[in-house]
Structure 1
């Protein structure tokens, strides 16, 4: 039991990614910036992403420890390093995972009678994992309870969720006025696999009783919901690849979502943006199976270490008092909502007779400085990040963006983004936490994004 619990804890804490895309946000020479703000100020006649190559992103981070803390070749025993990590972190330390692959994408400006409007569409695959460090579970797995008389272990420390899904989206944005752009994007989610355990409660404690006896109490209400796995557990004879493709193409558990965004210019060189992304839900009704530990058990005995108890009678009593129930009930999950906002000041003459790679309000200025706020909903406390950035149009075909970000994972996150449009081919590469690349094992977070697009600029955009 302890070995299984230990393996589970290690596996979930080594999966650690973040969803903030601070370099891409408002980097409007890259069409994929519309995914983080459907109201972005872009000025393309139309664009098309090169299928499977237009957008890929991945990032890794942990607010509590790094790979180096566990696997450094420094002569310290691994068990000692593991204990140091467990006891130096808190239950509020979080790790998460996000990977995104764009399958296809495109967009075009509507006819002249509505030249201030834009239509975009696409599909992408996404993997999300979010977990808090289950510290009390880790202590029990490592030490048992013998040396923790009187300590109340919180069964609610188990708080994790993960999902593999595909997203079909359709977006529309409109130049409401010379100062205001508003955008909306509708989404259909198709969940391929889901696991969720976020509303657990209960406690476990051991106290010294009388006559050398110990009182040990467990009250548990732990629920793990899953969908998409059921058909593969027993005597599966189908084709996994075909099943996953079917679920990807709207054959999984379905849900709906919406993105909202705007860009506002109080002055020509001052810009304000804001967006809400993934306001949505998924209804899980196919291949659902849930596991629940719920009940109350009190044990009185001479052995203080209940976790190490190997009595068959004791195990039977525990299973009767707190049984593991398998349920097949529908459930709903909510997507993690992301809020972005930025303010930007532009300066310097950047106009060029043949510059066609950026928007009307931006191509008058060679430089921009700004700040961005990111907030993402989470089961306990929101994930937050604050970014300062500088953008520079170096050539007509090359734009760069440098960022400095403070978030839950790092206070020295320096990032750099490059966007190059040569002819009609746009290539971009974005990476953050550049200071950590000298030894990535010590990094608390890393991320990168890249892609290729074909862009047809708006020839009517004034220089």
Structure 2
């Protein structure tokens, strides 16, 4: 059992971690099709007329355990008592684990210029999106690892607890158009992406509540509990059949103060998926008093059954019905400071240096978002016609601190291939890092 727990712990903390925001793609590929998934108003192909983009992003993370702790326990092979104490010492009041994969199967953008030289950009994309998140309170894990004796004489809160899994296919159309002004002076550009969502499978659980009281002399335990879990398409997953459908939208507004300074505000993933096929609901609420199993009855003691405790884990199961899984809605506010430069070879203007400031706020703890605020600062240097790259620092969200890097190389002015990671901290500062994520982007412009 301890070997299994060790494997789960390492998988949750040491392989991929904590960067669901894909900042490297935003900073390295700003204005192109791949980055416009996160800033719809910034889709701008420059002097090109069309672009094809492919990108993928994988992440996994937690808000609690660092890479160094995971590595030390992994090297031991077993979780020992001192390791349990170390794990418990790192718990927060609320702890969140998450993982996800975002893969763009198809991405196409076209751009037209009006007679007044205003650029109108339109996009079409098909994306595979999957994610999971698990929220639990500190007392939940303390109870699981060290039993209830530590809580004798206390009523402790075992919540909140929630588990959410969602796998969907996204069909999106987008547009970015100038509203007023121009980009080399004061101007405003607006963008929107409208999405049809095909839900493949889901587990949805609103935060559950529970509490426990342990008699000081250990004679009984009182449990209060209330939870509801809804699932669809879990028993028989078929990637080509949807069990639900829904609609979503991204919207954004970019304000150009001048050619060197701009601000963008975006609201991402507004919407939900309604699942109405292969739906199963598991729910239970109430109170249980567990008094254990007394073998001897010589002194008139009453014999109690252990089945009373099992009631908590034996929910009422209902088939049919429907439910909605909300998307991971989040607000993004971003600023850019640019230093344009004109190429001596072709007289094209490009941004040789760009500094980014980003704030992201999620509204629920769901796959891809957290209620913890996220901040990031990044720097990108562009070597015209060769490659560009930079670094980023971030805090909040799944991490207290994170260091990342990104770069892309170019072949001519048409082909661009980039790689990025928002979180390399575990390889540089193991005691602070929560792991790593990875993204790759390919684009071809015409």
Q: TM-score, normalised by structure 1?
A: 0.81
Residue 366 of structure 1 is matched in structure 2 by 352
Deviates more, 1:401-410 or 1:268-277: 401-410
Residue 228 of structure 2 is matched in structure 1 by 223
**Residue 258 of structure 1: which of 245, 249, 264 is its match?**
249
**Residue 46 of structure 1: which of 43, 47, 50 is its match?**
50
Distance in 1 (alpha carbons) for counterparts of 2:69 and 2:102: 28
Describe the superposition over 1:249-273 as per-residue Cα deviations: whole angstroms up to 9, x where unpaired: xx33111100001221112211111
How far the C-alpha of 1:314 sits from its partner, in A, is 2.0
In structure 2, relative to structure 1, the CA distance for the partners of 1:422 and 1:74 (3 Å cut) is closer
Residue 267 of structure 1 is matched in structure 2 by 258
In structure 2, relative to structure 1, the CA distance for the partners of 1:286 and 1:368 (3 Å cut) is same
Deviates more, 1:34-43 or 1:418-427: 418-427
Describe the superposition over 1:163-197 as per-residue Cα deviations: whole angstroms up to 9, x where unpaired: 12111111011111211110000011122221122
How far the C-alpha of 1:430 sits from its partner, in A, is 1.4
Distance in 2 (alpha carbons) for counterparts of 1:71 and 1:122: 39
- Is 1:449 equivalent to 2:436 in the alignment? no
- Is 1:383 equivalent to 2:372 in the alignment? yes
Distance in 1 (alpha carbons) for counterparts of 2:275 and 2:427: 40
**Residue 121 of structure 1: which of 96, 120, 124 is its match?**
124
Which residues in structure 2 correspond to 1:153-232 (within 5 Å)? 153-177=156-180, 178=182, 179-208=187-216, 214-230=219-235, 232=236
Distance in 1 (alpha carbons) for counterparts of 2:360 and 2:424: 20
Residue 285 of structure 1 is matched in structure 2 by 276
Distance in 2 (alpha carbons) for counterparts of 1:298 and 1:193: 36
Which residues in structure 2 correspond to 1:340-419 (within 5 Å)? 340-347=332-339, 349-354=341-346, 363=349, 365-379=351-365, 382-419=371-408
Residue 64 of structure 1 is matched in structure 2 by 64
The aligned length equals 420
Note the residue ranges of structure 1 that are not aligned, 5 or more in a row: 233-239, 304-310, 357-362, 457-463
**Residue 433 of structure 1: which of 414, 417, 423 is its match?**
423
Which residues in structure 2 correspond to 1:128-167 (within 5 Å)? 128-167=131-170
In structure 2, relative to structure 1, the CA distance for the partners of 1:111 and 1:77 (3 Å cut) is closer
In structure 2, relative to structure 1, the CA distance for the partners of 1:220 and 1:254 (3 Å cut) is same
Describe the superposition over 1:45-65 as per-residue Cα deviations: whole angstroms up to 9, x where unpaired: 11113xxxx111112332211
How far the C-alpha of 1:351 sits from its partner, in A, is 4.0
CA contact under 8 A between 1:271 and 1:345: conserved in structure 2? yes
Which residues in structure 2 correspond to 1:70-109 (within 5 Å)? 70-72=70-72, 78-80=79-81, 81-109=83-111
Query: 4+ residue stretches of structure 1 with deviation over 6 A?
Result: 5-9, 439-442
Describe the SS at the equivalent of 1:31. Answer: coil
Distance in 2 (alpha carbons) for counterparts of 1:153 and 1:110: 62
CA contact under 8 A between 2:233 and 2:277: conserved in structure 1? yes
Note the residue ranges of structure 2 that are not aligned, 5 or more in a row: 295-301
How far the C-alpha of 1:216 sits from its partner, in A, is 2.5
How far the C-alpha of 1:87 sits from its partner, in A, is 3.6
CA contact under 8 A between 1:296 and 1:322: conserved in structure 2? no
Distance in 2 (alpha carbons) for counterparts of 1:312 and 1:87: 38
Q: TM-score, normalised by structure 2?
A: 0.83
How far the C-alpha of 1:32 sits from its partner, in A, is 0.3
Distance in 1 (alpha carbons) for counterparts of 2:213 and 2:444: 62
CA contact under 8 A between 1:154 and 1:202: conserved in structure 2? yes
Distance in 1 (alpha carbons) for counterparts of 2:383 and 2:18: 32
Residue 307 of structure 1 is matched in structure 2 by none
- Is 1:339 equivalent to 2:343 in the alignment? no
Describe the superposition over 1:24-62 as per-residue Cα deviations: whole angstroms up to 9, x where unpaired: 22532642011001101512311113xxxx111112332
How far the C-alpha of 1:372 sits from its partner, in A, is 1.2
Residue 360 of structure 1 is matched in structure 2 by none
In structure 2, relative to structure 1, the CA distance for the partners of 1:350 and 1:315 (3 Å cut) is farther
Give me the CA root mean square deviation.
Answer: 3.2
